[in-house]
Amino acid sequence: MQSFVINLLNGVSYGLLLFILSAGLTLIFSMLGVLNFAHASFYMLGAYVGFSVAAHAGFWSALVIAPLIVGVIGAALERSLLRRVRVHGHLPELLLTFGAAYLLGELVKLGWGLSPSPFKVFARQTW
């Protein structure tokens, strides 16, 4: 029974994560009209920035600082590149965000490396 509950909670948490990703993608497309392929890469960047901030300043600081940093990077991408390409239609936007996704992935590999990093569990609960 305990295994069932753990698997159920894992499935629900994974489903909620997918919902957050898809809701954000839908919101960006409906408000800006941009097909943003870099959306998931920004989530990945936020996770790595949050990991680094949590290692130095604590979990609660990372919970505030990481989204702000990633939001500033996303706003800079939108203001500097996407606005210039918007007049040319959806295909150039799509190519630009696809390239941004690739670039963000490679920058994360350069910054944090390819090997796994140990993560201290924030709240460990024993049943």
- Same-domain status, 42 and 102: yes
Mean pLDDT, all residues of the chain: 88
In this structure, the number of other CB atoms found within 10 A of the CB of residue 63 comes to 13
Cα–Cα distance between 19 and 11 in angstroms, integer? 12
Check residue 122 and give its pLDDT. Answer: 64
- Same-domain status, 38 and 24: no
**Of 1-5, 21-25, 40-44, where does the model show the most confidence?**
40-44
- Same-domain status, 24 and 38: no
Q: Is the pLDDT of residue 119 over 80?
A: no
- Same-domain status, 57 and 26: no
| pLDDT bucket at 124, cuts 50 / 70 / 90 | low
- Same-domain status, 52 and 65: yes
Boundaries of domain holding 10: 1-32
Model confidence, pTM: 0.79
Cα–Cα distance between 100 and 79 in angstroms, integer? 14
In this structure, the number of other CB atoms found within 10 A of the CB of residue 39 comes to 20
Lowest mean pLDDT across 36-40, 109-113, 123-127? 123-127
- Same-domain status, 40 and 91: yes
- Same-domain status, 39 and 97: yes
- Same-domain status, 94 and 41: yes
- Same-domain status, 45 and 99: yes
Q: What pLDDT, in 10s, does the model give residues 101-118?
A: 999 999 999 999 998 877
Q: What pLDDT, in 10s, does the model give residues 61-75?
A: 999 999 999 999 999
Q: What percent of the chain has pLDDT over 70?
A: 94
- Same-domain status, 47 and 8: no
- Same-domain status, 10 and 38: no
Number of separate domains in the chain: 2
Check residue 66 and give its pLDDT. Answer: 96
In a domain, 103, yes or no: yes
- Same-domain status, 27 and 63: no
In a domain, 127, yes or no: no
